[in-house]
Each structure stands twice: as structure tokens, then as C-alpha cells.
Structure 1
């Protein structure tokens, strides 16, 4: 889970982390509040539940899952809702984030972290997934230092200010996502921009994994944390501000 932890080191959101009626970092059930007991769970307050499936309290989750969730929350300032939703199925939680880590933390090949996030944004927009579009647009802004490119891709990839390399990469990813019949011509266009057959595999695997994630989000009615909307748009808090 190295990537998941390092991610929140670079993307910590400025305080405060309270938005509207939702307080991220302190999750309580209404029953616990009414009874005066503090039940530290993973269900957020507010009119809209995190998921249409039950979200366990942390005290009821396996230790390794709690440990990861608490470290991500501590270093990032909030816990992304996907962690809460996937905790409904602990074994699937482990498998999901293990494969996420393999794909996104891969150190070989020609895909940068910003490249992978842009692939996720483009294909998730194609699949109409609000959570993945919003969350990974934020991560693209952080890694690329480009504040508007992901927004352009969401609206219309054909009109976005993409480099020829990025355009070839996204065209291949979207061909996988739609799906088109993949031919040698698809690989040839990638190769013109320096992508190997192994890079094509990486593009396709990121696309395929997040197609699954998109469907999980549809099933569970997963919505993005409000913190994602500001990540990469405003300066990080300084060490002085965080004291």
C-alpha cells in the first residue's frame, strides 16, 4: 500500500476539513450520538449515506484494514469514501487495494503517475462515474501541476489541450473502454509516440481495473468526498499552518 500512503503525504488538504453538514475524520452513527456514546465508525454524517450498503464501524473491522484506513486518514486529513464502501467486504477490500497498488505503483514502463490518473479520468468520464472522475482529477492536478487539463478531458477529450503523446494514450485507453476491436493500427499509433507493447498492456490494465471500480461506484451509489474538489486547486497548507 505504499502508493496509497505516499499519496496523502503530497495531497493533504488545508484545514478545516468540515464542509457543510459533513465532518470528515469523525464518523458517528446517529444512534451513538443520541445515546451519548461515541461510536467511531466509517459512516459519515449528513443527509446522504456514504453507501447504500452497510459501512462497518472500525471496531468491527480486521486490524490490517483499520491500520491502513487510519494511516491514510492521518496523513491526508480525510478518508476517501471508497475505503469506507469497500470495507463492507474485507476480503474484496484487500484484493481491490492490492491490485490498485500493483498497477499504480509500478515503477517500470513509460507511464507516469500523471499519465495513469489522466487515463482514469478519461475512461471514468466515458463510464459516467462521478466518484472516479472527481477523485482522480484531483490526483492528476497534484501530479501534473496542471489545474485545468483534467477538467477539459472530462468535458471533451478531443478539444482538450493534450500533447500528441497524451492524445495517443487516451485514444487507446478509450478504445479499450468503449470497447472497440483492438487492431495492430491501435498499437502502431501508440508506438509512434514511444509506447511499447508493455506500455499498451499497462494502459489497458489501468482502464480495465477502473472500469470495475466505476461499476462498484454505480452499484453502491458512491459519491466523492468534498475535499477532492479542492485538491490541487489551492496551495497546500504550510508546516506553520498545520501546527
Structure 2
């Protein structure tokens, strides 16, 4: 059970209301994540600002979704995996097979995007201490040193939302239910 509210626009703190109105215009509804972050209008603003800044990077919209999905999967955030699966497939028009491969933690058919997903997972797993082969492979795939830092920005954005979702127990919006995600069992019956 969560100790947090999921605010609607009229019930949100005053400083969060205009931010939630912007989300309503962008998505056609206020995602529960944003309604939960409205508890702290400053955090809500920070999250939205990170997203706006990430949109200005040299990563394409599909590449940004690869980063956001890969980080969310690595952080075990079912809410963000579902939300970004919908965003990737329907808003960004990413290849559904690629999104499904990410969700299933399988290699991506596009080698460059696979290198991006692998590098993003390494950043999360290794808490940013990525050197050697992981970094070299990312650069060898055609990414720049600037894009290394842009991946870190995407991971930062998702760490904020992933951790907040874990703490708030954010319920999945009906709009994201079609892509509900459960992490695949890593070790089968022997772990039970």
C-alpha cells in the first residue's frame, strides 16, 4: 500500500497544477507517475525538465526510447517499461519487434541500437563506472563521447522516475495496460 497520493490537476499542489495541465495536453491524460511526482512540484518540474533536455540531445527519438526502456528494465520498473513501450511504439513509431526484444532482454536486430541498449544497461548495472570493453564497444558502434554523456542523462531521468515509482507504488494507467510488463524469471523454478 502506498503512502502517496496520485494527484489530479485540481487537487494537486498549486505549483504543480500548470505542470500537470501541460502533461494533459501532451498525453491526453495525466500519467499516474506525474500525478505522484506532483507531491513535490520541484521534483515534478525537475523530471519534466530532464525530459525536455534529453529531447535536445543528438540521440534520435528511437535511440532515446532505447535508453529509457533499457534503464527502466535494468531498474525493474514495470510502470516505466509499460509507459515507454507505448510511447516507443505509438508516439515515436519505433519498430515493435525492437521494443519487444528490449522488453524480453534479447539482442536487438539493429547492431547499433543493440550497442546502445548494452551500454545503457552497463551504465545502470555498474553505477556509471563503465570503462574498457563496454565503453569501447559503444564508441566502435558509431556513437560519440558526447552521446556517452547523453546516455547518462537518460539514465539520470529514468533513475528519478524508476525509484519514485518503486517508493510510491505507482499504479499503471489504463492507457499503458496493453504493454504491462513483468520481469522475466532469471532462474526458473530453482529460485522459488
Q: Distance in 2 between matches of 1:145 and 1:57?
A: 30
Q: Of residues 124, 127, 135 in structure 2, which corresponds to 1:177?
A: 124
- Bigger relative contact order, structure 1 or 2, given CA contacts below 8 A and separation 6+? 2
* Residue 18 (structure 1) aligns with: none
Shift of 1:55: 3.9
Shift of 1:75: 4.9
The change in CA–CA distance for 1:169 and 1:74 in structure 2 (over 3 A counts) is closer
Contact 2:75 2:162 in 1 (8 A): yes
Contact 2:62 2:94 in 1 (8 A): no
Output one character per residue of 1:41-97: Cα deviation in whole Å (capped at 9) or x when no partner: xxxxxxxx8x53134564454555322322432453321111110111112222222
1:34-113 to 2 correspondence within 5 Å?
A: 52-56=3-7, 58-59=9-10, 61=12, 63=14, 65-103=16-54, 105-106=55-56, 108-109=57-58, 111-113=59-61
Output one character per residue of 1:153-202: Cα deviation in whole Å (capped at 9) or x when no partner: 111233xx431101111111111111174214333212222111010111
Question: TM-score when scaled to structure 1?
Answer: 0.65
Provide structure 1 residue ranges, at least 5 long, that are not aligned to the other structure. Answer: 1-48, 232-243
User: What is the aligned residue count?
Assistant: 177
Provide structure 2 residue ranges, at least 5 long, that are not aligned to the other structure. Answer: 180-192
* Residue 183 (structure 2) aligns with: none
1:1-243 to 2 correspondence within 5 Å?
A: 52-56=3-7, 58-59=9-10, 61=12, 63=14, 65-103=16-54, 105-106=55-56, 108-109=57-58, 111-142=59-90, 143-158=92-107, 161-179=108-126, 181-230=129-178
The change in CA–CA distance for 1:205 and 1:157 in structure 2 (over 3 A counts) is farther
Question: TM-score when scaled to structure 2?
Answer: 0.80
Contact 1:114 1:140 in 2 (8 A): yes
Shift of 1:209: 2.4
Aligned-CA RMSD value? 2.3
> Which structure's residues are more often helix, by fraction?
2
Output one character per residue of 1:119-158: Cα deviation in whole Å (capped at 9) or x when no partner: 2112211221111100011111131342232122111233
Contact 2:89 2:96 in 1 (8 A): yes
Q: Distance in 2 between matches of 1:156 and 1:198?
A: 26
